Amino acid sequence: MNLLFDYDGTLHDCARIYIPAFREVYRRITEAGYVPFREWRDAEITKWLGYSPRDMWNVFLPSLSDREKEKYSKAIGTCMEEQTDSGNAHLYPGAEEMLEELKQAGHTLLLLSNCKTAYMEQHRRIFQLDRYFTGYYPAEAYGYQEKWRIFPIIEKKHPGTYVVIGDRLHDMEIRERWGIPAIGCAYGYGKPEELREANGIAESIEGVKQEIDRIGDRAG
């Protein structure tokens, strides 16, 4: 079975590096005079996790020019890269063990994320993700198209049955559009209503494999 994983909020506890990067770049935006300074609660920041950079900036600060959006998007990416190189990026506890079990069970693991290519490659290297994953699909490589639009490209390269695993509506849209079973990761950054169409809900990393096994048993 092909298991199509999201990354941030599903396998990677991205808030650890995204929150400080967001706050730093927002400070720069205020110093440039584009917006007044304000404090941001963690939950107000993490709601953007799972969005593509393009969609995030178009919703967050639509008044910025495309040039400025690109500038500050790159700045957040650079801050996150620095945080990662400093050892502040962490997969969720138990994620590697879960991935190893799924790999050993004969599943094909694929990664589809609304991220930049450089970000995915950095994490692929640091966490040695090639131990588990067969294919990597960063949305930047596909013009930040919606995940459900990228899916047919992946399916063509990796035919067979699929289960989608993710924490946001963007992941559940693959299920809606293509009728593929989906597991919603309630421990991630999405709201409960984003996952209500999921075939199963994982309250923890350990629960992901349990839901995959349950769906596999039902399909078999």
The answer on pLDDT for 179 being more than 70 is yes
Q: Provide the pLDDT for residue 53.
A: 87
156 is written with which tokens?
A: 């063509």
Q: Which residues contact 33 (CB under 8 A, 6 or more apart)?
A: none
Q: Which amino acid is at 172?
A: M
Q: How far apart are alpha carbons 101 and 209 in whole angstroms?
A: 8
Map out the domains of the chain as residue ranges. 2-13+92-219, 15-85
pLDDT of residue 219: 59
Handedness of CA 45, 51, 53, 59 (dihedral sign): negative
pLDDT digit string, tens, across residues 101-119: 999 999 999 999 999 999 9
Mean pLDDT of all residues in 108-133: 97
**pLDDT bracket for residue 220 (50, 70, 90):** low
Contact 108, 36 (CB under 8 A): no
Q: Which CATH architecture has domain 2-13+92-219?
A: 3-Layer(aba) Sandwich (3.40)
Q: What is the pLDDT of residue 177?
A: 96
Element (H, E) at 111: strand 108-113
Long-range pairs, 152-158, Cβ under 8 A, ≥24: 152/178, 154/4, 154/110, 154/112, 158/2, 158/108, 158/110, 158/134
pTM over 0.85: yes
- Residue 8's closest CA among 44, 62, 47, 64? 47
pLDDT above 70: percentage of residues in the chain = 99
| Assigned token pair, 95 | 């994620």
Spatial separation of the C-alpha atoms in residues 217 and 161, rounded to whole Å = 13
Q: What is the pLDDT of residues 28-73, one digit of tens each?
A: 999 999 999 999 999 999 999 888 888 999 999 999 999 999 999 9
